[in-house]
Amino acid sequence: MYHFDSDYMEGAHPAILERMAAENFHKHDGYGCDGICDSARRRIREACGAPEAEIHLLSGGTQANATMIKALLRPFEGAVAADTGHINLHEAGSIEATGHKVLTLPHTDGKLSAEAVASYVDAFRTDGNRDHMVWPGMVYISQPTEYGTLYSLAELEALSRVCRDRALPLYMDGARLGYALAAPACDMTLRDVARLCDIFYIGGTKCGALLGEAVVIPRAGMIPHLFTTVKQQGALLAKGWVLGLQFDTLFTDGLYLDIARQALAAATRLAEGLAAAGYRFAFKPVTNQIFLRLDPGQLEKLSAHATFSPWERLDNGCEIVRMATSWATSMEEIEAFLEDLARR
Amino acid sequence: MYHFDSDYMEGAHPAILERMAAENFHKHDGYGCDGICDSARRRIREACGAPEAEIHLLSGGTQANATMIKALLRPFEGAVAADTGHINLHEAGSIEATGHKVLTLPHTDGKLSAEAVASYVDAFRTDGNRDHMVWPGMVYISQPTEYGTLYSLAELEALSRVCRDRALPLYMDGARLGYALAAPACDMTLRDVARLCDIFYIGGTKCGALLGEAVVIPRAGMIPHLFTTVKQQGALLAKGWVLGLQFDTLFTDGLYLDIARQALAAATRLAEGLAAAGYRFAFKPVTNQIFLRLDPGQLEKLSAHATFSPWERLDNGCEIVRMATSWATSMEEIEAFLEDLARR
Amino acid sequence: MYHFDSDYMEGAHPAILERMAAENFHKHDGYGCDGICDSARRRIREACGAPEAEIHLLSGGTQANATMIKALLRPFEGAVAADTGHINLHEAGSIEATGHKVLTLPHTDGKLSAEAVASYVDAFRTDGNRDHMVWPGMVYISQPTEYGTLYSLAELEALSRVCRDRALPLYMDGARLGYALAAPACDMTLRDVARLCDIFYIGGTKCGALLGEAVVIPRAGMIPHLFTTVKQQGALLAKGWVLGLQFDTLFTDGLYLDIARQALAAATRLAEGLAAAGYRFAFKPVTNQIFLRLDPGQLEKLSAHATFSPWERLDNGCEIVRMATSWATSMEEIEAFLEDLARR
Amino acid sequence: MYHFDSDYMEGAHPAILERMAAENFHKHDGYGCDGICDSARRRIREACGAPEAEIHLLSGGTQANATMIKALLRPFEGAVAADTGHINLHEAGSIEATGHKVLTLPHTDGKLSAEAVASYVDAFRTDGNRDHMVWPGMVYISQPTEYGTLYSLAELEALSRVCRDRALPLYMDGARLGYALAAPACDMTLRDVARLCDIFYIGGTKCGALLGEAVVIPRAGMIPHLFTTVKQQGALLAKGWVLGLQFDTLFTDGLYLDIARQALAAATRLAEGLAAAGYRFAFKPVTNQIFLRLDPGQLEKLSAHATFSPWERLDNGCEIVRMATSWATSMEEIEAFLEDLARR
């Protein structure tokens, strides 16, 4: 049996565990105010080409999203997102729990288009009833999206322009950012992300760390007293250096993108093999997540060889499922699975 | 110029103002703990055929909705509503401000169907990801709906059954309940509402009062310490008798429905006249709100004779607008307007 | 039996009811966007000497406090208040329900001193643990206080200076502001309040209106999109003109302070009579609320003649109770009560 | 220079890191639904003598407190705590951010007494104004307290009785529970805690883990759908097994208490040495935290040899500071420090 359920089944890149053992008995200041965290922040700033950036190291994606959106918005504002957005569907109402509405727009392949945002916001701002409605206060996107698809640089530039023209912060959920930036189909860099977004986070949990997401605010001080809001949300680790060490390691010598490339190569081979075996994709696979549209026979067969995640039941009896590779997936594993699948 | 912008442009039924003058210098206990409120509650219980009902008198609809939904739900739950529901669109995020998501389903003529609710809830409860999502915790409907349409008794019975089978409280927003119950097309009574809903409110503001909504909970004690939650939401009037007096008057000798009938007769005549003049309806008019689909020429002409509320701009250049009558609209006013419209 | 339970037992000044009857069938735009509200705002601006002030008309004090404090504070901030402050004790946790902590300081006769605020805030801002704590984000005071005492002009000036030096908005809860400003012992005017506070509200409910509090923000635009936040809190009346009419009337020809003077004269006579009869005060009475410290015998006797509000049970068996007069209390009523009390 | 700032300066017990390395490339189900977490839960249940207990593994103390208190309380309720309680002072308003007030009572050596709770709750429930106030909905205590002091078994039994008699859940913050239970002065066991509390958490972060707190609910199902509320609060780790592994290790062969004993022995020696050198304690030291009351000369001298945490500035120029040992503090370190201190 092979396991492609998700990209967070294994632990951390070995370099992280080695360093953790080395640092274990050194004494570090608490709450991220230590030298390792400082070093991690320096390396991330450099990788982002954002020397002034403010960086907060948090534990998980839902936590990062809720904390930052709460900190960004005023009471009368909500977050604009694709209806498929993770904050809208799969974070248990964490945004609403902070008092804010998720304002949804229809997605295209999991993405929000600049045009759709512009037209929604402009219509809102001239709507006679606008004062009785939740004001769009920011725009939330994910790169890659919840369907494993990618914004192109041109699309991100257009979104950024639309947002800045309307004074709306653009927020990118980068839970799998490594798997976007290292993808052959991706034409943007981390520097582009830092240049075009007002806040984003670099996912660690799914990209080589045990846990951890690095929130980057290129324009430091944009949100006052964010440390306190992070604490209030229960998002401040006492041993912050545990997060710092992971990002410091991942951002040394390009490790973050290197290990993402391995996941993408495995995903590419997996997709090729599945296509060759007659499987159809719900979305063209370009990152480490592959969404298959399976008929009942295919579902049964595939289930006999591997575990994966159910995604959506379709009316015609078919089902969309997700298979994911990670930095820890070996090419051997993929080949062995494909052979098995072919054999039986 | 005639004014059909809304049904809350005038004050209160004269009987209310008279009685207010008579009571003005009597001393009443505060916060709704007075004899007039007690009498109002008795009359409402009787009208509802719900002798045990708990009744809270609040000031407005958004306030009633947010207070009751907050009091009803646990943190992991949201309120299921039609996507056109007032709580979803036009209450400025008041539900989310209490920490809860509005879970929207597509509407049909502004209504939620029992089937749609059942199928959504049942699919949710068997969804493998359900624990990462907001649980449906209640169902919100409006009678009449935001488009002036009506649930039939059969539809409400079906919804009630679906909800009770699934242990989901059914909540009815009755901001214009009088204009529903007194409508010729309506086949349900207030007793049916009290029998089939777990919480509902009887709208006063739009149906003859200066302000006030009477929240009815047929099964008293369903929500513990609701008085305190009402206070916490800033929804407790010091001079509660001002609300009590209005409902006591409206529920004496059937006044509430009597004056609603007048509004409905005016609306019927208005709709007939408009139809005869070639205007088309976005929804078949059955209550006191008439939704017209106007082409640019019609919009210009109608605007020359009356004020009304813009509702939605359509892609084809047409616009949906709303005209409303109220208990204070006279038949003379309607006839005069129609004549004017015909003349020029 | 005489009733001194509170100052919100009667209705409205007769001039208000008369005008309401006159306006009842005129059509007014909704939500406070009508001519009467505009006129009320103009008159209040003039009385405040604040020609640019932004004014919102709300229904009650708890609602006004929660809405404004929520709108003012950022997530990491709390409201500094005396431990006896109404928002701390008697508003059912409405501030916390908006996500903010009430940061309490010990009171002196119900008041916060400028020194106490300065010393607390300065210590906080240099505390090494400050980032783990709730930041003071505004200062809340009541005039008169919950014990019927008064800030002097010098005290308010000192508080205002301390707050402005520290960029902390000063908020005054003026639920009974009329009974402060019209008091012989008061040395400040409404213009002083408008000059020294950043937000305050002028109480209507307890000072001549059926309901209504006028929130004044001398520096308009200080809080963006406040209308939407008011709506979100369920604090926006559809028939806003009902509030506008009351304030327009109260701020015509000085009615607001005139009727307060009547209440204060009654309270003065009541306090004199009680003192002469051997009753002792918990706080020197200077406004319309009189706090008595009663031994069991006095409590029994007084209870035989009048109703009043229990306030606090003391360890020695004594009890503090409150008697209140209002604009509707006649001097005859006071004299009759004092005679009765003397006779039996 | 020696460092006694806190008990969370080092990493994890070596056995944890070893096992993490061993498990790193095994695949585990996400979100705590894996075999290691199951094993950890089994061991904790056994150690608690609570075979039916429900256990949730969270990342930190503030997070655990806010999540559980939010899940426990209804809107009208608050959490009763000592005024020195961590949730009241040093969690950045996280409880209020969930909408609930912290109801404070004066502490005695950091503790709440059963009598104080009983008398407060009983007075509240008979207070005529109770419906306008926040209802006590649970009781929060810490063991050891924020001052390093301990509840005795008798005290906890009395508190538990008072709470159960009044249907108030008793919640224990056990961020340093190991340092309480292993203390010579402690007369209670983990089984007593599980028997007497309705919810508590076993601290990992400060007691041998990198991060992690194990919330124990002896009566499983007490809070419905807690998993979803945990997710909503951003408190659900994708790689939950990282937490499970740590608790599974700490609860194997009594490691949790064994390593705590080492910290306590070091603290005892440290306190003896300091007392012998003329230092005075603010509270009698019984756990791993030592609170010293230093005059300016002592402060200067101690600062020359060690780092520690400032706690409170006293009016007389003295200062209270905290020194903490941890499971990683060696006896050699203590002796060397004391020698140094004696020498210069």
Convert the pLDDT of each residue in B246-270 to its tens digit: 999 999 999 999 999 999 999 999 9
| Cross-strand partners of D321 | D292, D310
Percent pLDDT > 90 in chain D is: 98
Residues found in chain A? 344
Tell me which residue in A71, A75, A232 faces C229 most closely, judged by beta carbons: A75
pLDDT in tens, D103-141: 999 999 999 999 999 999 999 999 999 999 999 999 999
pLDDT in tens, D301-310: 999 999 999 9
Taking the C-alpha atoms of residue A89 and residue A65, their distance in angstroms, rounded to an integer, is 13
What pLDDT is attached to residue B344? 77
Contact A96 B132 (CB under 8 A): no
How many other CB atoms sit within 10 Å of the CB of residue D275?
14
Residues 202-221 of B with CB under 8 A from C: 205-206, 210-211
Tell me which residue in A92, A132, A313 faces B76 most closely, judged by beta carbons: A92
Residues of C in contact with D100 (CB under 8 A): 93, 96
**Which residue of chain B has the CA closest to A89?**
B133
**Which residue of chain A has the CA closest to B134?**
A92
- The mean predicted confidence, pLDDT, of chain D is 97
pLDDT in tens, D174-196: 999 999 999 999 999 999 999 99
Taking the C-alpha atoms of residue B157 and residue D12, their distance in angstroms, rounded to an integer, is 60
What pLDDT is attached to residue A278? 96
- Angle, in degrees to the nearest 10, between helices B153-165 and B114-125: 10
**Which residue of chain C has the CA closest to D93?**
C134
Segment D266-279 shows an average pLDDT of 98
In this structure, which long-range contacts are made by residues D193-196, counting pairs with CB atoms below 8 Å and at least 24 apart in sequence?
D193/D48, D193/D143, D193/D156, D194/D48, D194/D49, D194/D50, D194/D53, D194/D218, D195/D49, D195/D50, D196/D156, D196/D157, D196/D159, D196/D160, D196/D170
Residue D258 has pLDDT above 90, yes or no: yes
Contact C74 A131 (CB under 8 A): no
Closest-CA distance, A103 to chain C, in angstroms, reads 15
The CA-CA-CA angle for residues B296, B302, B306, to 5°, reads: 145
What pLDDT is attached to residue C328? 97
Please, where are the H alpha helices in A98-176? 114-125, 153-165
Tell me which residue in B92, B99, B134 faces A133 most closely, judged by beta carbons: B92
A137 to chain B, any CB pair closer than 8 A? The answer is no
A135 to chain C, any CB pair closer than 8 A? The answer is yes
Closest-CA distance, A229 to chain C, in angstroms, reads 5
What pLDDT is attached to residue D344? 77
Contact A234 D328 (CB under 8 A): no
B75 to chain A, any CB pair closer than 8 A? The answer is yes
What pLDDT is attached to residue B179? 98
**Which residue of chain A has the CA closest to D26?**
A10
Closest-CA distance, A92 to chain D, in angstroms, reads 5
Taking the C-alpha atoms of residue B112 and residue B143, their distance in angstroms, rounded to an integer, is 11
Residues of B in contact with D98 (CB under 8 A): 99
pLDDT in tens, D193-246: 999 999 999 999 999 999 999 999 999 999 999 999 999 999 999 999 999 999
Closest-CA distance, A41 to chain B, in angstroms, reads 31
pLDDT in tens, D35-58: 999 999 999 999 999 999 999 999
A310 to chain B, any CB pair closer than 8 A? The answer is yes
Residue B323 has pLDDT above 90, yes or no: yes
What pLDDT is attached to residue C242? 98
Closest-CA distance, C137 to chain B, in angstroms, reads 20
Residue D331 has pLDDT above 90, yes or no: yes
pLDDT tens across the length of chain A (344 residues): 999 999 999 999 999 999 999 999 999 999 999 999 999 999 999 999 999 999 999 999 999 999 999 999 999 999 999 999 999 999 999 999 999 999 999 999 999 999 999 999 999 999 999 999 999 999 999 999 999 999 999 999 999 999 999 999 999 999 999 999 999 999 999 999 999 999 999 999 999 999 999 999 999 999 999 999 999 999 999 999 999 999 999 999 999 999 999 999 999 999 999 999 999 999 999 999 999 999 999 999 999 999 999 999 898 999 999 999 999 999 999 999 999 999 97
**Which residue of chain A has the CA closest to D59?**
A237
Residues of D in contact with C91 (CB under 8 A): 132
What pLDDT is attached to residue D315? 86
**Which residue of chain A has the CA closest to D4?**
A27
If you write DSSP's letter for every residue of C281-320 in order, what string do you get? ESS---SSEEEEEE-HHHHHHHHHHEE-EEEEE-TTS-EE
Tell me which residue in C27, C211, C234 faces B67 most closely, judged by beta carbons: C234
Q: Which of C54, C52, C57, C51 is nearest to C37 (CA)?
A: C57
What pLDDT is attached to residue C315? 86
Contact A224 C74 (CB under 8 A): yes
Please, where are the H alpha helices in C54-152? 61-72, 86-89, 94-97, 114-125
| Spans of chain C below 70 pLDDT | none
Chains linked to B by 3 or more Cβ pairs within 8 Å: A, C, D
Q: E strand or H helix at D186, and its extent?
A: none
What pLDDT is attached to residue C19? 98
What pLDDT is attached to residue C181? 98
What pLDDT is attached to residue D6? 96
Cβ distance A282 to A320 under 8 Å? yes
Question: At a CB cut-off of 8 Å and minimum separation 6, what does B113 contact?
Answer: B155, B158, B159
pTM: 0.97
Best of B101, B133, B309, B319 to mutate (most A CBs within 10 Å, chain A): B101
Contact A225 C76 (CB under 8 A): yes
Give me the residue label for tokens 């204009």. B179
C134 to chain D, any CB pair closer than 8 A? The answer is yes
Q: Which of B201, B200, B108 is nearest to B163 (CA)?
A: B200
Contact C206 B234 (CB under 8 A): no
